[in-house]
Structure 1
């Protein structure tokens, strides 16, 4: 296995970047590979042009689709996907997974001794995310308390304003409120 991995490394080191014909000339053509199919295509006929895709550039069969450490990579979207990961595999947490679900996946993976390749230190990451969640929770509680205090203050201010108003001003204010309700469209 190690020999095959080293062989693959050598093969990939000398492998050129296969590009579509005329991709350097025309902006609309991508840098990805497509087989030339033109009748008079010099690249298809192999007239001293760039290298084309051939079996010699492929990886050895026993290390095909494995990462550089020799493990098969499996994308994990939820906790149930971790059942497919065994000792010859490594989990990759999908980029679409949120923090809370990622945290649960990491905890289960650590308990089952499953390696996660796209997180350097899962323990540190989980601690960091937990701290963030606690911080957000504290801020929410503080906001709600501030809101309650503000409501009470507003209520007190209204009451104090009403006490200061004279009878004539109170009647005017009530009349304005009634007029506003009557002219309101439903």
Structure 2
């Protein structure tokens, strides 16, 4: 990792500490509303009108530096893998195995990743 990338990772970590949690308006009041962000569009909506006690709106200023976007905190690019063939394009990256992959194929992917000296972010617990 270069010194510039290392510096930007520290900047990103500092920004993430200060970044508020962006939850959907009134999601804590109603069970049917998931907390995933939706832009408030109502005419009288306090969040849309930016009343300070109601939370923050998602803005471009909260974004992390472009050079380190998509990096895992360990400093490696994160790649989602669905089959063993996807590992060939993941040189020097941290690998995350997709949740829809079954146990048989997962073991195959993990074995191949071990051979290629790749870091698996979500290995099987207690396997092997």
> Normalising by structure 1, what TM-score?
0.58
> Normalising by structure 2, what TM-score?
0.80
Return closer, same or farther for 1:99/1:7 CA change in 2, 3 Å cut-off: same
State which structure, 1 or 2, has the greater radius of gyration over its C-alpha atoms: 1
Q: Structure with the greater relative contact order (CA < 8 A, sep ≥ 6): 1 or 2?
A: 2
Structure 1 residues 95-104 or 61-70, which shifts more?
Answer: 95-104
What is the aligned partner in structure 2 of residue 4 from structure 1?
8
What is the aligned partner in structure 2 of residue 16 from structure 1?
20
Q: Does 1:86 align with 2:91?
A: yes
Q: CA deviation at 1:120?
A: 8.0
**Post-superposition, which runs of at least 4 consecutive aligned residues in structure 1 deviate over 3 A?**
none
Q: Indicate if the aligned counterparts of 2:84 and 2:112 stay in contact, CA closer than 8 A.
A: yes
Structure 1 or 2: more helix by fraction: 1
After superposition, the C-alpha distances for 1:21-45 in whole angstroms (9 at most, x for unaligned) are 2223333222221111112222212
RMSD: 2.2
- C-alpha distance in structure 2 between counterparts of 1:67 and 1:34, whole Å: 26
> What 5-or-longer segments of structure 2 have no aligned partner?
none
